[in-house]
C-alpha cells in the first residue's frame, strides 16, 4: 500500500513497464545521445586546455588580459546578481502576496528578456546609448560613455539575467500564501521583521536556486555583451569575449585554457544546483500533502 503511494521510484512491475530488451535499448540510446552531446564536449574543453601541459595552461590563464577579463566578468556579475535579486524579491512580494489587476501581464513582461535573442538584447542598448542612439548626443556632450564601456556591459548583463530570481520565487511566494505573514503582523511583528523571520525561511531555497542560475547566465553571457563591448582588450573584455578573441587569433590552447575556467564554473553551478534541488525537495515533502 505504502509502496504505491511513495511515487518517485517505482519498482518496474511486470506489464507496467516495457520488456527488458526495450528498456535496455532506450537506456542505451539516451545515454549514447547524452554522451555524444554533453560528455564528449566537456572532456574536449579540458583536453584542449591542457594539450601543451600545465605551464602553458598557467601562462594563458595568468596573462594580464585574461585576468582583466576575469575581473570584469566578476564585476558585472557582482552588480547584476544583487540588482536582480532585489528586484526578484520585490516583484515576488507584490505578485505573490497581493491581488491586483494586470498581474498576469506583469509576469509575462518579466519573462520578456528570455524571448529576445541575445544579440537583440545588446543591440537595444546601442540604439539607446550609441553614437546615433536616442541619448547619444546628450551622453557625448556630458562625456559619459555607456556603450563600448563597462556600464554598457553591466546593463546588458542585467538585462539577460533579469528574470531568473523573480521567476523562481514568484511561484513559491504564491504557493505559501500570506497567512503566516498576516499572523506575524497581527502578533505585532514589523514589516521587515515579518519578511526576514517568516517569509525568507520559506523562500530561501527558491531564492538560492534563482541566484545560482542568474549568476551562471551573468558570467557566461556572450551575444549581448559582445554587441555592446567593442572588444577592447584588457578594458571591455569579459571572459567569454576573451575566449572568442584568443580563438579568432588562432591561439587555440590559450582560448581553451580560459574556456576551461568557465567550464569549471559551469560544473560548480551544476553541483550547487543539484544540492539546492535536493534540499528543496526535502523541505517541500511534509507540505506536499496532495
Partner 1 sequence: MARVKRSTVLPGFRLTLGFTIFYLCLIVLVPLMTLPARTAAMGWSAIWQTISDPRVVASYKLSVGAALMAACVNAVFGLIVAWVLARYQFPGKRVVDAFIDLPFALPTAVAGITLTTLYAPNGWLGAPLDKYGIKVAFTPLGITIALVFIGLPFVVRTLQPVIEDLDVEIEEAATSLGASRSYVLTRIILPYLYPAWLTGFALAFARAVGEYGSVVFISGNMPMRTEIAPLLIITKLEQYDYAGATAIAVVMLLISFTLLLTVNALQGWSSRKLAH
Q: Which residues 161-200 are close enough to bind partner 1 by CB under 8 A?
A: 162, 178, 181-182, 185-186, 191, 194
Determine phi and psi for 265, rounding to 5 degrees: -60, -40
State in angstroms the smallest separation of the CB of 204 from partner 1. 18
Among residues 58, 274, 281, 287, which is the contact residue for partner 1, using CB under 8 A? 274
Please state the closest distance from residue 58 (CB atom) to partner 1, in A: 19
Q: Pick the closer one to partner 1 by CB: 67 or 119.
A: 119
Return d(Cα 269, Cα 43) in angstroms, integer: 17
d(CA 51, CA 46): 8
Q: In the complex, what is the shortest distance from the CB of residue 174 to partner 1, in angstroms, rounded to a whole number?
A: 13
- Choice from 60, 66, 155, 165 touching partner 1 (CB under 8 A): 155
Distance set, CA 95 to CA 30, 101, 166, 207, 289 (Å):
39, 10, 10, 15, 24
Shortest distance, position 216 Cβ to partner 1, whole Å? 5
**Residue 39 interacting with partner 1 (CB under 8 A):** yes
Q: In 3D, which of 208, 158, 168 has the Cα closest to residue 88? A: 168
Among 78, 271, 284, 287, binds partner 1 (CB under 8 A): 271
**Segment contacting partner 1 by CB under 8 A, of 53-61, 92-100, 200-208, 280-288:** 92-100
Pull the grid cell for residue 183.
499572523
# residues near partner 1 by CB under 8 A: 103
Rounded CA separation 144/6 (Å): 61
**Contacts to partner 1 from residues 200-219, by CB under 8 A:** 213, 216, 219
Catalogue the E-assigned strands of 42-164: none
CA 167 to mean position of chain CA atoms: 12
Contacts (CB under 8 A) with partner 1, residues 50-69: none
Determine if residue 277 is left, alpha or beta; phi over 0 gives left, psi from -120 to 50 gives alpha, anything else beta: alpha
- The region of 6-14, 62-70, 138-146, 202-210 touching partner 1 under the rule CB under 8 A is 6-14
Contact 62, 273 (CB under 8 A): no
Site string for partner 1, 238-257 (x = CB under 8 A): -xxx-xx--x----x--xx-
Binding test (CB under 8 A) with partner 1, winner from 74, 116, 149, 150: 116
Distance, first Cα to last Cα, the chain = 16
> Cβ-count burial of 122 within 10 angstroms (0-12 exposed, 13-18 middle, 19+ buried)?
buried
The correct pick among 133, 151, 171, 234 for binding partner 1 (CB under 8 A) is 133
Stretch in the footprint of partner 1 (CB under 8 A) among 62-70, 201-209, 223-231, 280-288: 223-231
Number of neighbours of residue 119 by Cβ within 10 angstroms: 12
From the list 36-44, 54-62, 138-146, 201-209, the region that binds partner 1 by CB under 8 A is 36-44
Amino acid at each position: 500500500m505504502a509502496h504505491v503511494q511513495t511515487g518517485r521510484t517505482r519498482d518496474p512491475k511486470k506489464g507496467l513497464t516495457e520488456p527488458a530488451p526495450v528498456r535496455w535499448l532506450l537506456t542505451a540510446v539516451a545515454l549514447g545521445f547524452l554522451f555524444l552531446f554533453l560528455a564528449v564536449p566537456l572532456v574536449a574543453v579540458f583536453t584542449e586546455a591542457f594539450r601543451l601541459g600545465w605551464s602553458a595552461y598557467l601562462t594563458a590563464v595568468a596573462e594580464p588580459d585574461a585576468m582583466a577579463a576575469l575581473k570584469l566578468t566578476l564585476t558585472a556579475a557582482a552588480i547584476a546578481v544583487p540588482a536582480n535579486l532585489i528586484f526578484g524579491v520585490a516583484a515576488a512580494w507584490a505578485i505573490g502576496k497581493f491581488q491586483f489587476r494586470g498581474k498576469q501581464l506583469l509576469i509575462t513582461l518579466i519573462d520578456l528578456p528570455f524571448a529576445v535573442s541575445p544579440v537583440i538584447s545588446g543591440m537595444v542598448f546601442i540604439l539607446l546609448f550609441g553614437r546615433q542612439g536616442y541619448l547619444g548626443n546628450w551622453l557625448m556632450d556630458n562625456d559619459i560613455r555607456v556603450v563600448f564601456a563597462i556600464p554598457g556591459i553591466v546593463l546588458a548583463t542585467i538585462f539577460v539575467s533579469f528574470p531568473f530570481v523573480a521567476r523562481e520565487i514568484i511561484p513559491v511566494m504564491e504557493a505559501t500564501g500570506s497567512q503566516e505573514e498576516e499572523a506575524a503582523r497581527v502578533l505585532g511583528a514589523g514589516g521587515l521583521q515579518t519578511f526576514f523571520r517568516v517569509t525568507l525561511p520559506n523562500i530561501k531555497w527558491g531564492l538560492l536556486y534563482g541566484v545560482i542560475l542568474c549568476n551562471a547566465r551573468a558570467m557566461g553571457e556572450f551575444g549581448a555583451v559582445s554587441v555592446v563591448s567593442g572588444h577592447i582588450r584588457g578594458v571591455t573584455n569579459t571572459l567569454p569575449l576573451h575566449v572568442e578573441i584568443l580563438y579568432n587569433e588562432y591561439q587555440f590552447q590559450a582560448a581553451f585554457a580560459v574556456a576551461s575556467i568557465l567550464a569549471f564554473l559551469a560544473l560548480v553551478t551544476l553541483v550547487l544546483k543539484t544540492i539546492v534541488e535536493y534540499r528543496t525537495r526535502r523541505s517541500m515533502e511534509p507540505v506536499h500533502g496532495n
